[in-house]
Structure 1
């Protein structure tokens, strides 16, 4: 991608990390292919937005881009550095290193140096050495739903250069976590392995649940009579609805706990679900209810704010 990532996100070069994040989230919401199924260009826009944010959110890659060391796709500027071969690597292939062109008096010396390295490998009994370079690591961003992150799922992402990649989302994935897909980056040369793909995940908010550590937290509306008399109330969980027992005399802000109904990351105990109660008045107060409450207040009135002043 050769476009300016700052321009793609609509921010200045002096933008803070928080401003860049806000710009990305705003654009991602409006450009996501799932939200624009009838727009064939939405996917391409989303890919460019994600790639731009991926480059600028990392302070080191942003610094290197601003310094002209890498281009907008994260690739090394080849007019400044080159990779050369080193024989005798224990994995059986060379690792990459960089030297400035200024180290050589003539551009042809670059290739002469490569052949000298190969010649040294042969003279040391290491056999013929070939120029090998591991593939480029690739970095991507991906949005997932709250339930996909909580339960685990498999998602297909579209790569900037075309093609797709299946990504397994592990159960209990947290917002901002980075997944590593070994060998799914750029191809290597000269027999060297491919690079890795790193995918940083953003978890979209849920309209009912929110996550605190490995607990699920939600607010449950209840009626006045449920609060006074108690009862069984159907309550959503990650595993489906359950009947939650509301104790008689419940109040707004009271928290009930559903043991073992939270997030369960791999290798860790499952969290709980905390249910915060909220008493909601009826949408309309009829004369019967009004009369009943007036009579009740006259004989049973109380002051819940006593002692606050």
Structure 2
């Protein structure tokens, strides 16, 4: 079965009323009686019915959402393995590599060649005279060699630097592993966040329910508008071996109340009876920003739009939008005989 949310065309956080309304709309559109020329109409109608039965039941819907989240996490894990490829075998760092690393970091020269390869000046002079070298003389064999403490022995330095080389090698491996882990990042998670106009005005801090069951906090920024995206760093999916992804939250401002938004402008409708529309009036209306006086000019019809500057939402730059008042001409609930006679006389050209 396909995604039931996609079949009904609703969001994943849709309420039961929205799901029921979507089901009625889809069922009416794909009903076989209205699509007799479509051989797949019956199949689509049955598919929509199954989707509605699943989403209307809280238990089945919760179970489906959990299974879908687990499948998505498995897909992300498989994608991560495909992106990383086979794990390369870690090459051991031998003593020579460690010495080279410590030499580069601390400026110690590589181990010098054996001192036996360097010519001895005294031996060279003896060779010129035809005498055997000093270290080959008989008395030299009986006399033990004395260490010259005043001379620099590179072998001593090498022995003392060996533990530091191992430490540096461990640090290098740690940095290498960390770079490899942070080089890849989990893709962003996109979610919709439903907010009210009051929350936009008060810059409220709202909760964002994530598909994996966690909850993140989102602070509405100044000048936020419907459809604006806000990025929450490192609060998305977790996948082993990859940097945690971000959450990209899109604000969806509730447009079903008395006021709706157009950017930072507020839009509302003002019903008028025939008398106020013809003669004009002044009405005080309540807005999310407080009461506002609206002056209706005489002879105003339903095509009239009254703009009140500065009575809308506040933008990111501190400037406020406008309040757009759409006039709607309404008749009284009960018929008025005087108005009826007046309209009849105007139609037939009669004067009372």
Scaled by the length of structure 1, what TM-score is found? 0.60
User: Where in structure 1 are there 5+ consecutive unaligned residues?
Assistant: 12-21, 33-38, 53-70, 82-97, 102-109, 301-309
Aligned runs of 1:278-297 on 2, under 5 Å? 278-295=328-345
Number of residue-to-residue matches in the alignment = 236
Q: Given the superposition, is the C-alpha separation of residues 162 and 213 from structure 1 closer, same or farther in structure 2, using an over 3 Å criterion?
A: closer
Aligned: 1:100 with 2:85: yes
CA distance in 1, matches of 2:65, 2:314: 31
Aligned to 2:22: none
Note if contact 2:225-2:264 (Cα within 8 Å) is conserved in structure 1.
no
> Which of the pair has more CA radius of gyration?
2
Which of 200, 221, 224 in structure 1 is aligned with 2:250? 200
- Report the secondary structure of 1:28's partner residue: coil
Query: CA–CA distance in 2 between the matches of 1:260 and 1:167?
Result: 27
Which residue is 2:277 aligned to? 227
Closer, same or farther: CA 78–183 of 1 in aligned 2, 3 Å: closer
More helix by share: 2
Mapping of 1:2-81 within 5 angstroms? 6-11=2-7, 23-25=9-11, 28-30=14-16, 41=59, 44=62, 72-73=72-73, 75-77=76-78, 80-81=81-82
Quick one: distance in 1 between partners of 2:217 and 2:279?
51
Using structure 2 for the length normalisation, give the TM-score. Answer: 0.53
Pair 259,156 (structure 1): closer, same or farther in 2 beyond 3 Å: same
Q: Is the 8 A contact 1:149 1:170 kept in 2?
A: no
Corresponding residue number in structure 2 for 1:177? 228
Q: 1:25 to 1:299 in 2, by over 3 A?
A: farther
> Does structure 2 retain, via aligned residues, the 8 Å contact 1:179–1:200?
yes
Match of 1:162 among 182, 199, 213: 213
Q: Which residue in the other structure is 1:86 paired with?
A: none
Q: Does 1:237 align with 2:281?
A: no
Does residue 141 in structure 1 map to residue 191 in structure 2? yes
Tell me how far 1:26 sits from its aligned partner: 8.5
State the alpha-carbon separation in 1 of the partners of residues 60 and 296 from structure 2: 47
Q: Per-residue deviation at 1:257?
A: 0.8
Distance 1:202 1:218, change over 3 A: same
Would you say the 8 A contact 1:227–1:249 is kept in 2? Answer: yes
1:28: Cα distance to partner?
1.6
Would the aligned equivalents of 1:137 and 1:197 in 2 still touch at CA under 8 Å? no
Distance 1:175 1:43, change over 3 A: farther
SS for the counterpart of 2:91 is helix
8 Å Cα contact 1:216/1:262 also seen in 2: yes
